[in-house]
Structure 1
Amino acid sequence: MSTTAHDAPTVVRVDGPEPYDVVIGHRLLDRLPGVLGDGVRKVLVVHPRALRSTGDAVREDLAANGYEAVTAEVPDGEEAKTAQVAAFCWQVLGQAAFTRTDAVVGVGGGAVTDLAGFVAATWLRGVRVVHLPTTLLGMVDAAVGGKTGINTAEGKNLVGSFHPPAGVLADLSALQTLPEFDLRAGLAEVVKCGFIADPDILTLCEQQPDEAVRWDSPVLAELVERAVTVKAAVVGEDLTEAGLREVLNYGHTFGHAIELVERYTWRHGAAVSVGMVYAAELGRLAGHLPERVVDRHRTILTRLGLPIVYRGDRWSALYDAMRRDKKSRGATLRFVVLDAAGRPTRLEGPDPALLQAAYVEVSDT
């Protein structure tokens, strides 16, 4: 289960009401017209400022294939996920007279695919979107599953919709220029898939951590394929998070709180890394998880160069942020915890004292 620069791409099917393929491989841009499908005439390419040349290359390739392609350059990172930036994209679509048979292409990391998906979902109540993720996080998480959204001052992804893409082209060659810490941060979502569903991911990370952070290694390719397969299986059964899909939020309730408190200066994967250790400690304190599995979290994440602690003077702000988390139901906080590796479960309404006790276990003081 590995892809190298010389192998044929791997295709992972995402089932559900609107099935689509995630193609994992190298040099995949020539597949974009086929994913866009028949009837599309105009394409909006949404890309971050840092990927201007990549966005232009995609636009030029589309133009060479007969499309009317325009670009929308948006801020880098989470700054792109605002109502103001979405409104700018809508303006571009309107000025170019995009119709319901036209399409949006998101080129970039998770923030851009979240934004591009939301713009596509809301323009004329829904047009086709294709994602070209350029980060590891985007490939294994944000671009797959149909979740779209933007942030508000009150929290992350509080405004959004479910809008599955027409397809995802995960070109591993894009990882060559990805900063090392961003690649490591993306591995947090891979490790999450290991803990909730595929323990072979954990074994690979334990045994070959150096290969896991090499963009062209067969190990990283296999990790991407395994993580996408886990997510595809979950979202194919539960697109709108009515039940099963909630397991994909392992580590995210506390992780999103860190992101909000830090005003999104933390990488998502870094925050989720700490969030998984928090969830593991919470599971242990609630009597679900053996201590050795909690220790395994710390060992794997540390070997991958990811953080496992957070500052110890932010409990009040973190608790308030978690109470506003979109996974809460009324005043009831909900967490995904583990009974064992590969056996996720839910913990609803834990005692606040238990939550604070888990926080102490991940504090750096």
Structure 2
Amino acid sequence: MWKLVPIFLICIAVAFFSDRFSRKNERLTGYIYKEKFIWILLIVVTAVFAGLRTRYNDTGTYLESYEYLVNSKFDFSDVEWTFGGNFGFVIVNILLKSLGFTNNGFLMVFAIVTYSIYIWFIHKYSTDFLMSIFLFMCLVFTFPLAAIKQCVAVAFCLLAVDKAINKKWFWFVFWILIAETFHAYSIIYLIVPLMFFLPWQDKRTVMWIVIFFFAGILLRPMLGTLLEATESLGKDYSVEEFSGEGVNPFRLLVTLVPLVMSFILQKQINDPYYEYDRQDNVCLNLSFLNGEIMFIALFGTANYFARLANYFYIFPVIALPRLFNMVKPKWRTPMKVAAIGCYLFFMWYSNTHSGFNPFDKDFDRIALNEFKWIS
């Protein structure tokens, strides 16, 4: 994990200074003034780190596909024009290849788009930017290094959520459709308009918990129906693929933290003093969804359900700092120290003992002076 330490420390330092030059309100429910420029350095350093890589998880597969893509000068005749064919991703690849972008130029383009939108969304909606970036580095940062298509689709879905928060429904649907051309499971974000209710004060919180609980318990008997649903999205899976080893229970517990903590703090959530509003509601409810889908992954193969849960992995990054600042003042600092320790442990564990190759063994990159946009 030592290869992650420099980028982690740089990002925390940038977030610290960005937060230092911002001003929070007395209730810690938001900012009176948000610093406008320093935070952009986070986009630069994360995108450069990601764009210089030559190996990590599925990166090799993406690079191999891009490297052997026929350079036919803007020839789109072989594109599969279905959502299941991820034609948006294919079109961008053809454009980049036709323009002569190198392998690392291809990675850099997607890294810039993905991390720009992720960090912009966090900066816009987080009530504690420093803590949110800390959680982002612990929970989310390495995922776009592995799942390029899914993560750029999630980035476009975040633009859709922003439009939904502001009740711009045409643009909400527009960005969902754009995301759908990059990864078919983006369709799950159509659930967002149903997620603006006040958590725990509305019966829908319990309703969703019960639905996903039984979905997990009944997963194996319902596999036939599930396979039909995935086939309609253009994906052909077998029963064996969905009934493999489940997700690590430790990983499930981490995703359930927002749900458990919000249950403990439900009186504060309902207290007008804390100004829990529309954007807080949707971020917390989507955090629940992250844990609820991960619960299903406990009973099915982690490869598919855990990645589906990761569509909502970024929302705890925003929801948890909001909850942390609702704890009574005398317990707030000890609780934050404990949270920092726990999430650092999870970051270490997930990058050294998660069942995949340790990060340091799996990750390689070129030097910055070796990078070229165009071959």
Report which of the two has the higher share of helix: 2
Larger radius of gyration: 2
Q: Do the two structures share a fold, i.e. TM-score over 0.5?
A: no
- TM-score, normalised via structure 2 length: 0.28
Report which of the two has the higher share of strand: 1
- TM-score, normalised via structure 1 length: 0.29
